[in-house]
Amino acid sequence: MTRGRATTPDPFDISAVSSSDELFDALSTRRLADVRRSSSDDPAAALLAALVADVDAGAPPLPAPPSRVPCGLQGQYRRGVRVFVTFGVAAMVLTSAGAAAAGGGKDLGAMGGTHGSAGVNGAERSNENAQRHDPVADTNTMLTGRRMPTRRPPDKRPRAVPPEDSAPRAADDPRPPWTHWGHRPSRGTTRSPVDGHGHHPSSHTDAHPSNDGWHRSPYRPERTSTP
Amino acid sequence: MIVRYCRARLGRVSGQYHIADDVAQEVCIAVLGALPRYRDMGRPFASFVFGIASHKIADALRSAIRAAVPTEDLPDGPDEGPGPEETVVRYIEAERARDLLDRLPEHQRELVLLRVVAGLSAEETGNVLGMSAGAVRVAQHRAIARLRAMASEESIA
């Protein structure tokens, strides 16, 4: 039956291979006492232990395996870094959340999930917001999760209205526009207050609608408006 | 590792390891001299070193001169080592182990020397010999089984 397997080596037991590997590990790591104690009836192990002890006599010590100590130190270092980063991120989140809550809850919507956890205080705060803000905008905020742009009240501050016909129009100027753009003043001309603030007079165009008397070029004759 | 490897291969001469230590020194010098010519061919550097060591040991065995090593002064001081009887017993057992190892096939002998005497792990031994760690474990199991069989035959005889 085994004529085809005549040249193959004998089958071996896995447990025997592992026990032999343990014996070789003990011999290579110089645990000779363990070897002699565990294999007292094994003459080969005793002879190998005697050979190792004889060879090691007076020899320099074997180098320690380099992969064990750095791994432990690296693991501790990484663990420390992880703990530090975790606490740092948690502290930043808690600080920003506390600052947002102290600021009236305006920024809590950006962090997400604040509507569901509002509770009684959230309801009170939303009432305050309703009194303070535009209710239409708050409704849009609740529906879409974003704050919609609201209409601003009209600005009641006085605006500087340019006087009519105070600036000469380009159509009225008989010269072509490129002739007075970048026009340099002649010598002896008094400087305008605009120049006193550092603005070059050539940077202003007369045709700009926002030009008032103050920014008007002083090199033009003043035109009087006739009602 | 090289010192132990040379000691295990060459043994004591006149009760000392002077020859083996000299060969180990020659191995280190040869490795330093061969470093500029070393090319990484995918095999570990330890196989390069142990290859040089095996050649140096073969040269030493070929030109072995069994002569006494002269010393200038006789050792005169307390010896902290084991006693004479224990030393002799250990020496005899070590010589017997070398005899058994010499009767092993060369591949198994190299494997046992690297694994036991040089203190390499199964993976490192496999890298040196060009084997996998599992093949090293199987081969070392066969080697120790053969050593046991030979030792039991000697004890019976």
Predicted local confidence at residue B3, as pLDDT:
84
List the beta bridge partners of residue B16.
Answer: B13
Rounded to whole angstroms, the maximal C-alpha distance in chain B is 53
Question: The tokens of A191 are what?
Answer: 């400087």
**227 residues of chain A, pLDDT tens digit each:** 444 444 555 666 888 889 889 999 888 888 888 877 877 788 888 888 888 888 887 777 776 665 544 444 555 666 777 888 888 888 888 888 887 888 765 555 555 444 444 444 544 554 555 455 555 555 555 555 555 555 666 666 666 555 555 555 555 556 655 555 555 555 544 454 444 444 444 444 444 544 454 555 445 555 555 54
On whether the CB atoms of residues A162 and A212 are closer than 8 A, the answer is yes
On chain A, the residues whose CB falls within 8 A of the CB of B117 are: 51-52, 55
For chain A, state the CA radius of gyration. 46
Q: What is the pLDDT confidence band of residue B136, given thresholds at 50, 70 and 90? A: very high
Alpha-carbon gap: B55 to the closest alpha carbon of chain A (Å): 20
ipTM above 0.95, yes or no: no
Over residues B9-67, the pLDDT tens digits come to 877 776 678 788 888 888 899 989 888 888 887 777 888 888 888 888 888 887 765 55
Predicted local confidence at residue B17, as pLDDT:
80
Q: What is the DSSP letter of B119?
A: -
Predicted local confidence at residue A103, as pLDDT:
75
Nearest to A53 among B1, B90, B98 (CB): B90
Residue type, B94: A
Question: The tokens of A44 are what?
Answer: 């080969």
Nearest to A21 among B112, B117, B122 (CB): B122
On chain A, the residues whose CB falls within 8 A of the CB of B141 are: 12, 16-17, 20-21
Predicted local confidence at residue A70, as pLDDT:
47
Size of interface A-B (CB pairs under 8 A): 97
Are B147 and A44 an interchain contact pair (Cβ–Cβ within 8 Å)? yes
B16 touches chain A (CB under 8 A): no
Looking up tokens 């004591």, which residue turns up? B12
Substitution target in A10, A14, A21, A24 with the highest count of B β-carbons within 10 Å is: A24
* Closest to B26 measured CA to CA, from B1, B51, B53, B62: B53
Q: What is the pLDDT confidence band of residue B112, given thresholds at 50, 70 and 90? A: very high
Mapped onto helix, strand or coil, the DSSP state of residue B114 is: helix
On whether the CB atoms of residues A168 and A220 are closer than 8 A, the answer is yes
Dihedral angle computed from the Cα positions of residues A82, A87, A92 and A94, in that order, rounded to the nearest 10 degrees: 140
Buried-state track A88-111, b at ≥16 Cβ within 10 A, e below 16? eeeeeeeeeeeebeeeebeebbee
pTM equals 0.46
Are A50 and B115 an interchain contact pair (Cβ–Cβ within 8 Å)? no
Are B91 and A54 an interchain contact pair (Cβ–Cβ within 8 Å)? yes
Alpha-carbon gap: B33 to the closest alpha carbon of chain A (Å): 23
Are B94 and A28 an interchain contact pair (Cβ–Cβ within 8 Å)? no
Over residues B72-98, the pLDDT tens digits come to 767 677 767 777 787 788 888 888 898
On whether the CB atoms of residues A115 and A108 are closer than 8 A, the answer is no
Are A62 and B1 an interchain contact pair (Cβ–Cβ within 8 Å)? yes
Predicted local confidence at residue A149, as pLDDT:
57
On chain A, the residues whose CB falls within 8 A of the CB of B7 are: 54-55, 59
Predicted local confidence at residue B141, as pLDDT:
92
List the beta bridge partners of residue A154.
Answer: none
Rounded to whole angstroms, the maximal C-alpha distance in chain A is 130
Nearest to B90 among A24, A27, A50 (CB): A50
